[in-house]
């Protein structure tokens, strides 16, 4: 599906309360719900494709769930908690079949899984890749059931009527001021009564979500059960060796698809091989996985660019999905692992595996990545399964509870100590290791960031984003905007398991900025940030961001190709890019392009005023204004925001449903005119 956007004719002046709930938290509540001791209540669960797939995977492992209205909550809790209370009195029994059967019958009778994105949002789909190899340690035969597996994904991927924006999972209310959103529904999670997870009977479909695949790989490796994880064609091109290597080194038995790529400057030749990637016990090359043949993701190279690192002109390898996890006789070993990749997904996968291992583990990383997994464990754990060492803080938990400074990161430069669930004695008697939780998920700052950019680039705009998560590792993009001159304020700050509050953004003339640190904290915001850089005064640069090349797309190449289509001057580097901004809001009477006090160009509500100003400042501006997202949801939304200023056309926007189903509906309430 493609979209044509007309330039906004007036300023954006509004408060937005219903955005997209935080995707990272929504993924994790599914996983932590498996280990909770009672019914969990989740308000604001993101009902997008990626997170609904995570929920479905958890259900394959024993979690039951349903979406209900607020009026149903009390009766549901009374009914279900009596079952869990009865179970808690029978912890000494190994086979509590009667209670388990009672719960299962009670939940199955309600057909809970039909509530996944509403009862009609599920469809059966044959796996695109039929080369999934699963090798059982007890048998060399290939599993004949793996050749034509059926998996599920949300039907919202493909709207039947591409001309009807109502098919994009949300409806615009009659007064066009608010949205009728699924976020008003409450998600109830019913954990399995026993600690052991059930072995999934189906292939676990992760869709487009690297978070789902990587975190569940760690969780399943620790659980020591047989499973296969697959995804869509975009996820199958993303590197998985970064989690397979450390997990296999501590005793896991995980296989992946292996492809060898030979990338040259003017062409790419790929040699595909369906090879099982395994770290064998007999090999002495475990630490480097030298016995593996691995893949490289598609690193696009402009034919005329001389700035790309020549190291990429050689044979490169990586491990790709689908992934197969084979159970072992023994639990995973403890580890002391230092990651050279600052990745919350790698860190979380290792933590989830370590919690189910046989020994204490220690994890550290080159720079602190997003820390939702740590924060949620600290809030829900019954015993100190997760703690921090080499810390100057006397009471980390107290600091996290009491502090409301949005820029405070207590865990910077600290190692994470993970103690297995088995160190909690009641766990060995059958008690669940985590407390049940009743939480409200705040709005996703990465999703909110698109509208912050919109307010920055549309003259006279004043936009307030309500109830946004303010985790310090998630608002780096807003801090960069402030460095560029944006007028941003925070208010109504709350501090629960995660900080949250309101963010107000007012239009201001932006100036160029150099970004090379804390990249892990704004890896998802860089595409939208490039839009701000495109209209800023002077040159902006991004470095140390090669991780962008292995996201949903090669975001560096795809992003710059789209910017050039809008007439933006930019230069590509192996680990980033330079952008020369239009400086379209420069005061006519100001000769100093770096003058922070220069007046903002006023808009009188006419599109031509803004467009004429842009054209006069860049004679080469008139370009195709047709950008291709290449199936990357953040790229698609970034170019849509840029098109709100100039008008434009964006290809392949169905991917937006993976993280932000009501994105276009919010734009429409703000006055953006578009045609699908």
Annotated binding residues for 3-phosphoshikimate, as ranges?
23-24, 28, 343, 345, 524, 551
Q: Rounded to whole angstroms, how far apart are CA atoms 471 and 487?
A: 20
User: Pairing between strand 64-68 and 186-190?
Assistant: antiparallel
- Where are the strands (E) in 543-663, listed by range? 569-573, 576-580, 626-628, 648-651
Count CB-CB contacts under 10 A for residue 422. Answer: 16
* Angstrom distances, CA of residue 217 to CA of 211, 489, 558: 10, 39, 28
Find, among 345, 393, 336, the residue nearest to 369 by Cα: 345
Q: Which residues contact 404 (CB under 8 A, 6 or more apart)?
A: 493, 495, 499
Phi and psi, residue 301, nearest 5°: -125, 120
Count CB-CB contacts under 10 A for residue 589. Answer: 7
* Angstrom distances, CA of residue 480 to CA of 452, 477, 574: 12, 5, 22
Token pair for 160: 């039947």
Q: Which residues contact 436 (CB under 8 A, 6 or more apart)?
A: 36, 37, 38, 39, 40, 191
The 648-651 sheet, strands edge to edge? 626-628, 648-651, 3-5, 674-675
Q: Is 524 known to be catalytic?
A: yes
User: Containing H/E element for 255?
Assistant: strand 254-263
Q: Rounded to whole angstroms, how far apart are CA atoms 325 and 61?
A: 14
**What's 646's DSSP letter?**
H
Q: Annotated catalytic residue: which of 50, 524, 574, 578?
A: 524
Find, among 184, 192, 188, the residue nearest to 76 by Cα: 188
Find, among 673, 661, 668, the residue nearest to 155 by Cα: 661
* Angstrom distances, CA of residue 552 to CA of 102, 189, 207, 656: 42, 29, 11, 12
Q: Residues at the annotated binding site for phosphoenolpyruvate?
A: 23, 210, 238, 345, 555, 634
Active site residues: 524
């Amino acid at each position: 599906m493609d979209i044509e956007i007309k330039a906004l004719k007036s300023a954006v002046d509004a408060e937005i309360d219903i955005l997209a709930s935080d995707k990272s938290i929504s993924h994790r509540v599914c996983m932590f719900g498996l280990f909770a001791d009672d019914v969990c209540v989740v308000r604001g669960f993101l009902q997008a494709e990626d997170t609904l797939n995570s929920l479905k995977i958890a259900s394959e492992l024993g979690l039951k769930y349903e979406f209900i209205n607020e009026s149903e909550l009390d009766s549901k809790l009374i009914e279900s908690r009596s079952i869990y209370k009865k179970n808690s009195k029978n912890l000494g029994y190994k086979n509590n079949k009667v209670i388990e059967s009672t719960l299962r019958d009670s939940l199955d009778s309600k057909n809970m899984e039909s509530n996944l994105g509403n009862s009609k949002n599920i469809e059966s789909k044959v796996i695109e890749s039929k080369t999934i190899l699963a090798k059982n340690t007890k048998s060399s035969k290939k599993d004949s059931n793996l050749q034509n597996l059926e998996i599920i994904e949300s039907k919202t991927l493909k709207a039947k009527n591409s001309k009807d924006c109502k098919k994009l999972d949300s409806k615009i209310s009659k007064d066009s001021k608010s949205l009728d959103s699924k976020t008003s529904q409450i998600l109830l999670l019913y954990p399995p009564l026993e600690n052991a997870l059930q072995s999934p009977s189906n292939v676990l479909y992760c869709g487009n979500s690297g978070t789902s695949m990587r975190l569940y790989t760690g969780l399943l490796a620790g659980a020591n059960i047989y499973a296969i994880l697959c995804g869509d064609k975009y996820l199958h091109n993303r590197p998985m060796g970064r989690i397979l290597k450390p997990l296999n080194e501590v005793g896991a038995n995980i296989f992946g698809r292996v492809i060898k790529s030979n990338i040259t400057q003017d062409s790419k030749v790929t040699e595909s091989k369906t090879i099982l990637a395994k770290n064998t016990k007999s090999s002495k090359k475990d630490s480097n996985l030298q016995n593996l043949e691995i893949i490289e993701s598609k690193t696009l190279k402009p034919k005329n660019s001389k700035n790309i690192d020549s190291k990429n002109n050689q044979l490169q390898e990586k491990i790709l999905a689908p992934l197969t996890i084979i159970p072992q006789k023994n639990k995973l070993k403890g580890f002391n692992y230092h990651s050279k990749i600052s990745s919350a997904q790698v860190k979380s996968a290792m933590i989830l595996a370590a919690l189910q291992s046989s020994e204490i583990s220690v994890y550290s990383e080159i720079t602190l990545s997003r820390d939702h997994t740590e924060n949620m464990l600290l809030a829900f754990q019954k015993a100190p399964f997760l703690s921090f060492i080499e810390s100057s803080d006397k009471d980390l938990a107290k600091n996290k509870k009491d502090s409301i400074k949005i820029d405070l990161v207590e865990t910077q430069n600290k190692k994470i100590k993970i103690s297995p669930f088995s160190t909690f004695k009641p766990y060995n008697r059958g008690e669940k290791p985590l407390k049940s939780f009743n939480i409200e998920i705040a709005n996703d700052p990465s999703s909110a960031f698109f509208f912050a950019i919109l307010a920055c680039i549309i003259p006279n705009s004043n936009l307030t984003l309500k109830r946004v998560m303010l985790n310090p590792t998630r608002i780096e993009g807003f801090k960069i905007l402030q460095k560029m001159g944006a007028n941003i304020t925070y208010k109504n700050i709350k501090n629960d398991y995660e900080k949250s509050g309101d963010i107000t953004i007012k239009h201001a003339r932006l100036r160029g900025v150099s970004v090379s640190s804390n990249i892990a904290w704004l890896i998802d915001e860089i595409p939208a940030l490039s839009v701000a850089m495109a209209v800023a005064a002077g040159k902006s640069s991004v470095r140390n961001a090669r991780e962008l090349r292995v996201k949903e797309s090669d975001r560096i190449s795809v992003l710059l190709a789209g910017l050039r289509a809008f007439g933006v001057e930019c230069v590509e580097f192996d680990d980033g890019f330079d952008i020369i901004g239009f400086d379209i809001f420069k005061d006519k009477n100001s000769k100093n392009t770096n003058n922070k006090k220069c007046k903002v160009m006023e808009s009188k509500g006419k599109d031509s005023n803004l467009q004429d100003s842009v054209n006069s400042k860049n004679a080469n501006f008139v370009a195709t204004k047709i950008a291709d997202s290449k199936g990357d949801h953040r790229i698609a939304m970034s170019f849509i925001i840029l098109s709100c200023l100039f008008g434009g056309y964006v290809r392949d926007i169905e991917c937006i449903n993976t993280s932000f189903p009501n994105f276009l509906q919010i734009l429409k309430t703000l006055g953006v005119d578009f045609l699908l």
